[in-house]
Chains A and B, each alone.
Chain A
Amino acid sequence: MLTATTGRFVLSSLTAALLFSTTGSVQAEVVLNVAYTQDLRGTNPGVDRDGNTDTVHMHVVEGLVAYAADFSIKPMLAEAWTVSDDGLTYTFKLREGVPFHNGEIMTSEHVKWSWDRFMAPETKWRCRSYFTGEDGPEVVSVETPDPLTVVYKLASRSATFLGNLARFDCGNTAVLHTESVDADGNWLEPVGTGPFKFGDIKYGRYIDLLKFEDYASRSDPQDGYAGAKEVLVDKVRLQILPEPSVSKAAYLAGDIDLLSIEPADLAEMELAPDTQILSAETAVWDTLLINTDDPVLQDKRIRQAMAQAIDREQIMAIVSEGRGRANPSPLPPVSSFFTDAEWEQLPFDPEKAKALLDEAGYDGQPIELLTNKRSGAYYERALIAQSMLKEAGINAELKVLEWGTQLDAYTSGEYQMQSFSYSPRLDPALSFEMITGEQSRKVWNSPEAIALLDQAMVVSDKVERQGIIDELHRRFIDEVPAIGIGHRVEFYAIRDSIDGFKPWGAGKQIFWGVGPK
């Protein structure tokens, strides 16, 4: 038998734990071995980050509030909160007796210290602008009237304040202990309240998350990043395996217990012994962006013709092996704001598309569609779309770039069309914000859309906000700054012997509640 550093021991230890627990004798270390595609960017939440790093950080730190599975906001370190009638004062009551990883108990002073650190420009928190009045309401003060109360005062009303506090890319605005930094304020490591602590981090090899034995779990049921967080393993080892064929082989060999799989591998993995395949429709939006300032594509009729030339159902069926559903909106179907209105779309109608092209006087000018070959079916979507566009008489040309080069084009806005994907936005306004605005990277710059978006950012009344979101969707369909293909389905292969893993729409893996059956 290999040692604890290998996957083989890890897997056998899952079984071993079951065997030994009944006898009350030796208890082997239980380790969940997970295939992970990327190294950690760093340990500083909301600062050293990318999507995968955020997932790891969210196991180590917690904030006052958190996203639930349905993308609503629920309390986490806060017991509850109240909002004043004018919408400008948020009062959080903290939970009592919540320990940090160093054993000290969390108080409002820690919340204030963490907030002040995040807001200091030298911290380089990526979400600072959401709370300074630049991209969100200004937080004018944070007060701590007693050890279990924190009061945030805002300069203006906001519908996104709590959501921004809970964002993964903001590190959940984590409440940290002062020992997270040295005497000069330099970052050391996160001393948080999360259910895991960092263990070994070996770049290019693995990241270890260790169970925090004294974790104070909430009593309400597990619900996304909210609710109870019961850790059922001693350690989660994230094995850095960027190559899908290698991670698949490692899974089949028994060295990995859980891995994310591409739709193309579904049929094979379904036949793997002792394996369950789990899936979830996420908020990752797969789309074809259109540069509305391009001389040819600025004509709305040509963009509408494109939308009607593309059969998104067929594209989605192919790229998801028939498991996903197409939808036209930037808003994910898992959002509580996604209603019948968000299904409204220009139907697939190549004849109508041809008529619109004639009406617009399109005479076969080439339209370049950028794509790349990274995972996520960017290339496949573009290839199928190109064929459909050609069928309708649109001279679409495919240009395959390396991802960094395509991203350059995206940021500068110097392209005609591109196959693109957006990471999950859990607030409905943010689903439109990612494409709406005057920056060169945003494709929808109509003043009416921007004005509607501004409203969606501040109106918190659910009914009123729903009306604004529906109107944004209607305009989006009419103006066609992008052609939504659908929201990506993520698939996981996991051993039958493991229980409790629940993929969810935020596209984040959660390792609490996961353990041997």
Chain B
Amino acid sequence: MTRKRSSTINLAQMRKHFTVKPLALGVASVMLSACGGDRQDATVYTSVDQCVNDNPEQANICQTAYQEALVEAERTAPKYRSEQDCEYDFGPNQCRVVNNNQGSFFMPFMAGFMLSNLLSPGGYYHQPMFASYSPYSRYRYRWLTADGYDFGDLRKRHYKVSKRTFNPKPSVSRTISRGGFGSSVRAKSSWGSGKSSWGG
């Protein structure tokens, strides 16, 4: 008898939470060396104070970048179902529980934040950095980004990086305006609080 339903569904692929994000190997070294032209200085700070010591004039940027990196960290950090799984990758006492609308899970603490272009009028770049202290991890004592780039030894703090480190998707056109779609929804949203979908 032929079945009328999908014969198999890859459940692992459908699972949204608690899956271990693979950490890519060797990507950073490519990024660090291959993009000669547009490389820029970047520094990893493990605290706001460290950043302020280095950049006394930019204390407020240090503070803002740190806060933004924290928020970003919560969004992008690897998530684990159990504290044990998280500690296996990041080490004892290196993980905390997070509760958000997607559930409850464990993620590593942000170990530092990478900052670049502090003085540029075009704006600075930042991203959260993580560090593993786990004897089981091949990334022990190394700086990692949320998407798994390995920046090498924890003792190293200064880097020459491509802008793409912060914005891995290259800019190829200039956007002159935003927000030209969506007005119908704003106009129609006044109809009750019950609207849950603009599909049907």
Chain B binds chain A: no
